[in-house]
């Protein structure tokens, strides 16, 4: 199982499962997401976590081997996936995995960050956007980069 986090969007993916009764491409999938291990408070699977028993009689919601979830708040999440065969029986859950969403706060105009240099963001009077100036001191030399963002 893999997770790819981009901002507040997460793509969860896994290898297709094998089943003695259903061809690999005939399997559907179900997953849960929670903000603590063994919880289902972000996406309920409608199946028991202990043994995979399905609480509904239907195919899994996911027909492929990936799922995208958007707009998650910052935090660490726990998830797992199970295969559903063509008789709607759920398999065992895969080993639980985690991913972390970190939301980056935008800088306001004239914000400055100092470390081994500075990052300045301020309105650009020559355009309708902002100018970002990065000044970094490397090996005793100052390197300056300026980026203009049009709005």
pLDDT at 115: 45
Residue 88 lies in a domain: yes
pTM of the predicted model as reported, rounded to 2 decimal places: 0.66
**β-pair type (111-114, 97-101):** unpaired
pLDDT at residue 72 above 90?
A: no
pLDDT at 8: 84
Q: Do 53 and 117 lie in a common domain?
A: no
State the distance between the two ends of the chain, measured CA to CA, in whole angstroms: 39
| pLDDT tier for residue 127 given thresholds of 50, 70 and 90 | low
Residue 32 lies in a domain: yes
CB 80 within 8 A of CB 94: yes
Q: Do 49 and 21 lie in a common domain?
A: yes
pLDDT at 74: 87
Residue 47 sits in a domain whose CATH number is 2.60.40.10
| pLDDT tier for residue 100 given thresholds of 50, 70 and 90 | very high
Evaluate the CA torsion angle 7, 14, 53, 68 in order and state its sign: positive
| Arithmetic mean of pLDDT, 16-41 | 91
Q: Do 8 and 38 lie in a common domain?
A: yes
Q: Do 31 and 94 lie in a common domain?
A: yes
* Burial status of residue 60 (CB atoms within 10 A of its CB: 0-12, 13-18, 19 or more): buried
| pLDDT tier for residue 21 given thresholds of 50, 70 and 90 | confident
pLDDT at 126: 61
Query: Which tens digits make up the pLDDT trace of 102-126?
Result: 875 454 555 554 445 555 666 656 6
| Arithmetic mean of pLDDT, 41-58 | 90
């Amino acid at each position: 199982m893999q997770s790819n986090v981009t901002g507040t969007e997460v793509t969860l993916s896994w290898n297709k499962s094998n089943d003695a009764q259903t061809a690999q491409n005939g399997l559907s999938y179900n997953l849960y997401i929670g903000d603590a291990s063994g919880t289902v408070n972000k996406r309920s699977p409608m199946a028991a976590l202990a043994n995979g028993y399905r609480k509904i009689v239907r195919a899994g919601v996911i027909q492929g081997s990936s799922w995208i979830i958007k707009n998650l708040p910052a935090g660490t999440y726990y998830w797992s996936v199970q295969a559903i065969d063509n008789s709607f029986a759920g398999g065992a859950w895969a080993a639980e995995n985690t991913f972390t969403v970190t939301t980056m706060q935008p800088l306001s105009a004239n914000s400055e960050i100092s470390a081994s240099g500075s990052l300045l963001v301020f309105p650009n009077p020559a355009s309708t956007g902002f100018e970002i100036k990065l000044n970094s001191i490397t090996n005793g030399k100052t390197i300056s980069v300026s980026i203009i963002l049009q709005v």
